[in-house]
Structure 1
Amino acid sequence: MKHFSILTLFLIVSTRVALAQETGGEWCAHNKAERFKKASSNARIAYPGDQSIDVKYHFLNLKITPETKTINGIVRTYFTANQNLNAVFFDLKSSFKVDSVVRNSKKLAFTQGNNKLNITLDKALAKDELANVTIYYVGVPPTSNFGSFEFGIHGAQKAPAIWSLSEPYGAPDWWPCKDDPSDKIDSSTVWITLPSFYTSVSNGRLVGTLKNLDNNTSTYQWKNKHPISHYLISIACSNYTLIQDLLEYKGDSIPIEHYIYPEVLTSNLQTTLAETKPLLAFFTDLFGSYPFHDEKYGHAMCNFGGGMEHQTVSSMGGFTESLIAHEMAHQWFGDKITCKTWSDIFVNEAFASYSEALYDEFKYGKARYQNTLNGHFNRAKTTKEPVYISDPTNENLIFNYALTYGKGAVVLHMLRGVLGDADFFNSLKAYQESEFAYKSATIDDFRNIAEKTSKKNLKYFFDEWIYGTSYPRFQYGWTSLSKTSLKLNISQQKLTTSPEFFKMPVELTLKLKNNTDTTVKVFVDKISSDFEISGLKAEVNSVVFDPNNLILKDVQEVGIITSNAENLPDVTIFPNPNAEILKIDLKGYPASYFEIRNSNGQLIKNFPSVQKEINIKDLSTGKYFLIIKSDSNQKSIPFIKN
């Protein structure tokens, strides 16, 4: 994704509120992919951090000098020992100079190298013992268009702005930390000192603002009291206009705070920002209470396209309804419960992407929801990798929009179809209320919660759609056995990837000759499966495969005959494709009359007697089926009118 200029940003904010709903996920994906490209080559050396410690608390005290782009930082970290140890390390770019490391008023020995700060403790720690160190450091963060810590300008007045964006490996670009998303920090404090021109924003609640009259600076003191992953700790600083609101909902009073560049604060933008309240209420109903209701939810503008779900305050490069929905949903999926590894990014991004579609369904109806999903369906078919990221060092995979966001959302849509609405949404709430609340989780952790909630075995589904690749190519055919029963065959093309074929429940709508419909569900667990459906109230006119589009698939209707007529000869129609005259060679097949139906099963023409040629000049271009019927047999043969 390209780096938007401020003029472009203004146009986006002002005019793009009604964009296609996948925009939120696209912006998120492209922005993070760019971040990853920058960060992975260096930060990956340190990841996943020092596994010998469990971080409990971080206090970041940052004095930033915009003129020299320098951070003078003090970071105090409390941690417990996971084993007996006498040394620890923190991830910090070697471009920073560490002045000293202090524990209990004593300076500790340390070395820097390979983007690590190695510290020798003055006293060995026993397993589970609590300790703290304070690190004093200074330096200039690495810079680029989509850096982890950036200095920029905005508006005609070229007002300065400073922001951070650490996902996935960028936190060590500006502060010493344990670079591991699975180690949730119990709480955090961030103090930011800058010239008084700046309003400085971070996670949690603003507990104080100090005016430093001796040097005309201000120190904003932010306190977050909920568990947080290191990459979600953030700052955003500029001459913001603050828009405040309050959502009173289901016993919670949730402060809403928008920190906006003053030049883009139009009436249109305020209308878009107002969508924050109904979105918070909707996701509260769907997922459970807003996880940080005693602190805030809001946005802080930054100079990048897209958004980043920093805990309690999403950093935003622009605003659309779908982007607000996407980043807000992350507060549950990504912030309250965080992916344990970057290979498990599905539990962050797929849920946020699918949440956009869920809000479409709620606000605009099923057709809008399906239109959003259709875009994801098309993208998902282009993917070649499993949703579980096979190589999290590959920037083309972890934040790949078609894979992580598109196919990820489709997988959740299909899971909803497998479970049914009640079990699906109950599973989402159960996951949020599980032992993983305010902790980290894997994809299999979510699967286990869904299985417990629904009392269904979902391993086959996750093996196919999360750890497998591709999608099924179905063929189906049917024939009436009697006026109240049907024979159905569903087969799949054998794939060269894993799995070779897909096990799935499949819905079919049977359109009956008494002008009524009935929907049945069968479970396909073989490469070719036969089913007999009886007890129908009338003879079947046509069969619609997966009428609610619950499965990522290709599908083709083909002809079959009843089992007692398996030895009857084939029928040939030619030329095929054809524009004018369709010739028919029955080859002895017993036939009484013909029908032509379109690809939706609708009757287009019928012929009360058998003919050798049929004029199709008046048919529109497209796919059709010639239905050859007798008293006991039926054959369906596809043809193309060109």
Structure 2
Amino acid sequence: MYKFVFTCIFMCTILHAQNYTKQDSLRGSITPERAWWDVIDYTLDIHVFPKNKSIKGSNTITYKVLNTNKTLQIELQSPLVIDSILQNQQKLTYSKVGYSYFIHLIKTQKVNNTESLTIYYHGKPKEAENAPWNGGVVWSKDNNGNDFIATANQSIGSSIWWPCKDHPADEANSMQITVTCPNPLMDVSNGRNIKTTQNNNNTTSYTWKVTNPINNYGVSLNIAKYAHFSENYKGLKGNLDCNYYVLPENLTLAKTHFKDVPKMLKAFEYWFGPYPFYKDGYKLVETPYLGMEHQSCVAYGNKYLKGYLGYPMGTSEWGKKFDFIIIHESGHEWFANNITCKDVADLWIHEAFTSYAESIFLDYHYGTNAANEYVQGLKSSVKNDKPIIGTYHVHQEGSSDMYVKGSLMLHTLRQIINNDQQWRKILTGLNKEFYHQTVSGKQVIDYINKNTKIDLTSFFKQYLTTTQIPTLVTTQKKDCIYYTWENVVDDFKIPLKIYLNGKEKWIVPKEKQWKKIIGKYQQLKIDENFYVALKQL
């Protein structure tokens, strides 16, 4: 079920100059010890001890047997240690390579059966050095000296704080999370709070239930002395309850500042389709770091400022019209949490579409010109340092250009399609076609090709696998402009909007072939909504 082969013509060529370890392969590939079982449910139960920055707990993994096997692979990163593993009250043995554990099963695993095992563990999880980029657990204090704790583990992996099948291709269909912490702190995790238990030892246990498929890195704990308020949003699938958890001193400010949430929902439901997790609700939770797209539990730390910590993303002042973290991280509910990449090499599915969503928000509330100016303002931020697609099967992401260059790529695609009704249909269609699924980049590209009736394979190859900006080369001969492509992959062929003497004109350049139009090249301009360069000879 989770074995997949990447056959797209450009996927096999992405090999960065880097040595990969055995651990990289174990982490990033569908090994035989992973392929034979499918996660159905996780039941995570942990106690958090802020004084010594440690945790202890258990995770019960319920899974479906796809093929016969007696060895099951999970991950748990040091310095956390496994205390014991039980299945049917029998203690299991295991071997270990790095932080990958190979559990030796006693019971015969029959195909199509549902089985479960429980892993008990404890220790001091890795502390985040610079969350969310260099992740782990954040142990912090609020301004009143109360503990302020959160997880941020997108790249490093959820196995940094709980044992699991730490690969994006296999999502649990549901999950229950119980977190016990000292009073007066409370935990906020994914899904809905179904139980709160006051214990005799001055602690409280908070149990949260997720009823939708959830990716591992979207699972979170957030512990603080929170204040809470809520509102009801009337969306495409009925009433969506929106809950907000903030530090008490920010409660009044949050009630005004978080008005970006219903605006976000209105824009994204229009462009992307219904919010994907009505059953689990929507939460925005204040955290001691900038932010993260935890499913139905979005982490917020943008200091109640518009833009990105008060500054616009890129050079356009339109970036100050919204709180970047609220809009960007919530956009991931559609692209990352609803549609999830099978391999982090394809993380552009998450980041390109969600970065582009920032302009879609502006488009809905302020018009297309605002969206255009915002995306155009991102051009100077592109590094073109390495390909956006990473290396497959070794848990290796590509360039951070997947954000801004990815946005520019999709904005260019919108111009190529040149029909906003069709463009919207593609965006909503992606979220319907791949609803609650893990996908490859090839599947996304194939879907777009099919629904545009244009072969855009070379277009995506250009922007995702090279660092070259397609360049329109022009030269003047008498009263004709001759033009061709430079710095493009084979078969790169897209329509391009230009302005000649101020008049709009569409051309279709071709590499190694000069075409001509009548005019003076000094009067030729490329539409700025295309991420291409111009070179005049």
SS at match of 2:495: strand
Checking the alignment, whether the CA contact within 8 Å between 1:46 and 1:115 is kept in structure 2 is no
User: For the residues of structure 2 that align with 1:121 and 1:504, how far apart are their CA atoms?
Assistant: 55
In structure 2, what is the Cα distance between the partners aligned to 1:529 and 1:399?
Answer: 33
Query: Paired residue for 2:183, among 181, 196, 219?
Result: 196
Mapping for residues 421-570 of structure 1, pairs under 5 Å? 421-434=420-433, 436-476=434-474, 487-493=480-486, 495=487, 499=489, 502-511=492-501, 518-532=503-517, 543-547=523-527, 549-557=528-536
> In the alignment, is residue 409 of structure 1 matched against residue 407 of structure 2?
yes
1:79 maps onto 2:59 in alignment = no
Tell me: CA distance 1:94–1:389, structure 2 relative to 1, closer, same or farther (3 Å). Answer: closer
Q: Answer whether contact 2:168 2:341 (CA < 8 A) is retained.
A: yes
- Note if 1:110 corresponds to 2:94: yes
Residue deviations 1:415-458 (CA, integer Å, cap 9, x gap)? 11111222222111111111x22111122211111122122211
1:582 is matched with which residue? none
**Residue number in structure 2 paired with 1:7:** none
Counterpart secondary structure, 2:120: strand
Query: 2:212 and 2:395 mapped to 1: Cα distance?
Result: 31
Alpha-carbon separation, structure 2, partners of 1:527 and 1:391? 32
C-alpha separation in 2, matches of 1:172 and 1:372: 37
How far is the alpha carbon of 1:105 from its aligned partner? 2.3
Paired residue type of 1:431: L
Give the alignment partner of residue 279 of structure 2, picking from 271, 280, 294.
294
Instruction: Report the Cα offset of residue 102 of structure 1.
Output: 1.5
Q: Tell me whether 1:140 sits opposite 2:133 in the alignment.
A: no
- The residue aligned with 1:264 is 250
Matched, 1:315 2:299: yes
> 2:153 and 2:341 mapped to 1: Cα distance?
15
Q: Which residue does 2:155 correspond to in 1?
A: 168
User: Of 137, 142, 145, which aligns to 1:149?
Assistant: 137
Structure 1 SS opposite 2:51: coil
Offset at 1:241? 1.0
Distance 1:332 1:94, change over 3 A: same
Which residue in 1 is equivalent to 2:223? Answer: 237
104, 110, 126: which one pairs with 1:126? 110
Alignment of 1:207-356 (within 5 A): 207-212=194-199, 214-267=200-253, 269-304=254-289, 306-318=290-302, 319=304, 320=306, 321-356=323-358
Query: Hey, what's the Cα distance between the residues in 2 that align with 1:416 and 1:122?
Result: 55
Match of 2:13 in 1: none
Distance in 2, matches of 1:464 and 1:255, equals 42
SS of the residue aligned with 1:125?
Answer: coil
CA contact (8 A) 1:63 1:71 kept: yes
> Secondary structure, in 3 states, of the residue corresponding to 1:124?
coil
SS at match of 1:71: strand
Distance 2:333 2:221 in 1: 17
The residue aligned with 1:183 is 170
Pairing 1:371–2:364 present: no
Contact 1:392 1:398 in 2 (8 A): no
1:64 aligns with 2:15: no
Q: Distance in 2 between matches of 1:166 and 1:86?
A: 30
Please say which of residues 269-278 and 361-370 is displaced more in the overlay.
361-370
Distance 1:360 1:532 in 2: 36
Letter in 2 for 1:242: H
Contact 2:521/2:536, CA 8 A, preserved across alignment: no
* In structure 1, distance between residues paired with 2:498 and 2:201: 73
Q: How far apart, CA to CA, are the structure 1 residues paired with 2:357 and 2:237?
A: 23
Q: Is the 8 A contact 2:356 2:407 kept in 1?
A: yes
**Higher mean displacement: 44-53 or 98-107:** 44-53
Can you give the 5+ residue segments of structure 2 that lack an aligned partner in the other structure?
1-19, 307-322
- In the alignment, the residues of structure 2 paired with residue 291 and residue 550 of structure 1 have an alpha-carbon distance, to the nearest angstrom, of 30
Structure 2: how far apart are the matches of 1:456 and 1:125?
46
Give unpaired runs (5+ residues) of structure 1: 1-39, 482-486, 512-516, 534-538, 559-642
State the AA in 1 paired with 2:165: K
1: CA distance between counterparts of 2:271 and 2:141?
Answer: 39
Q: Which deviations, in whole Å up to 9, do the C-alpha atoms of 1:532-585 show, x marking residues without a partner? A: 57xxxxx999854323x2322222456xxxxxxxxxxxxxxxxxxxxxxxxxxx
- AA of the residue aligned to 2:499: T
Task: Determine if contact 2:265/2:275 at 8 Å carries over to the other structure.
Answer: yes
2: CA distance, partners of 1:173 / 1:532: 60
SS of 1:100's equivalent in the other structure is: strand
Aligned to 1:89: 73
* 1:357 partner amino acid: S
For residues 219 and 42 of structure 1, the distance between their equivalents in structure 2, rounded to whole angstroms, comes to 39
**1:386 aligned partner:** 387
Going from structure 1 to structure 2, the CA distance change for 1:470 and 1:500 (only over 3 Å counts) comes to farther
Contact between 1:384 and 1:469, CA under 8 Å: does it hold in 2?
yes
Partner of 2:311: none
Partner-residue secondary structure (3-state), 1:425: helix
Instruction: Please tell me the residue identity of whatever aligns with 2:279.
Output: D
CA distance in structure 1 between the partners assigned to 2:279 and 2:63 by the alignment: 25
Secondary structure of the equivalent of 2:118? strand
SS at structure 2 position matched to 1:255: strand
CA RMSD across the alignment: 2.6
CA distance in 1: counterparts of 2:212 and 2:508, whole angstroms: 44
For 1:78 and 1:531, locate their aligned partners in 2 and report how far apart those are by CA, in whole Å: 64
SS state at 2:233 partner: strand
Q: Deviations over 1:13-36 (max 9, x none)?
A: xxxxxxxxxxxxxxxxxxxxxxxx
> Does structure 2 conserve the Cα–Cα contact (< 8 Å) formed by 1:45 and 1:114?
no
Identity %: 24
Whichever residue aligns with residue 314 of structure 1, its letter is V
**CA distance in 2 between partners of 1:255 and 1:116 (Å):** 39
Partner Cα distance (2:182, 2:327) in 1: 33
The question of whether the paired residues in 2 share the 8 Å contact of 1:44 and 1:169 is answered with no
Between the aligned partners of 1:505 and 1:144, the Cα distance in structure 2 is 46
TM-score by length of 2: 0.85
Deviations 1:330-378 (A, max 9, x none): 0000000111111101100011111112212332334432332223222
Name which one, 1 or 2, has greater alpha-carbon Rg.
1
Q: Aligned partners of 2:72, 2:439: CA distance in 1, in Å? A: 25
1:192–1:221 CA contact under 8 A, matched in 2: yes
Q: CA deviation at 1:43?
A: 7.2
Letter in 1 for 2:390: I
TM-score w.r.t. the length of structure 1 is 0.72
In 1, Cα distance between the equivalents of 2:21 and 2:377? 32
Alpha-carbon distance between aligned partners in 2 of 1:223 and 1:360, rounded to the nearest angstrom: 34
Which residue of structure 2 lines up, in the alignment, with residue 361 of structure 1? 363
Alignment CA distance shift 1:226-1:491 (3 Å): same
Aligned equivalents of 1:310 and 1:297: distance in 2?
Answer: 10
Paired residue secondary structure (1:432): helix
Shift of 1:93: 2.1
How far, CA to CA, are the matches of 1:240 and 1:43 in structure 2? 39
**Residues 120, 391 of structure 1: CA spacing in aligned structure 2 closer, same or farther, 3 A cutoff?**
closer
Report the Cα offset of residue 460 of structure 1. 2.1
Partners of 2:184 and 2:23 in 1: how far apart?
33
Secondary structure of 1:298's aligned partner: strand
Q: 1:93 to 1:52 in 2, by over 3 A?
A: same
Shift in alpha-carbon separation, 1:490–1:230, aligned structure 2, 3 A: same
Check whether the contact 1:181–1:230 (CA below 8 A) recurs between aligned residues.
yes
Residue deviations 1:186-238 (CA, integer Å, cap 9, x gap) = 110101111221121111111111111x1121111100010111111111010
Report the Cα offset of residue 274 of structure 1.
0.9
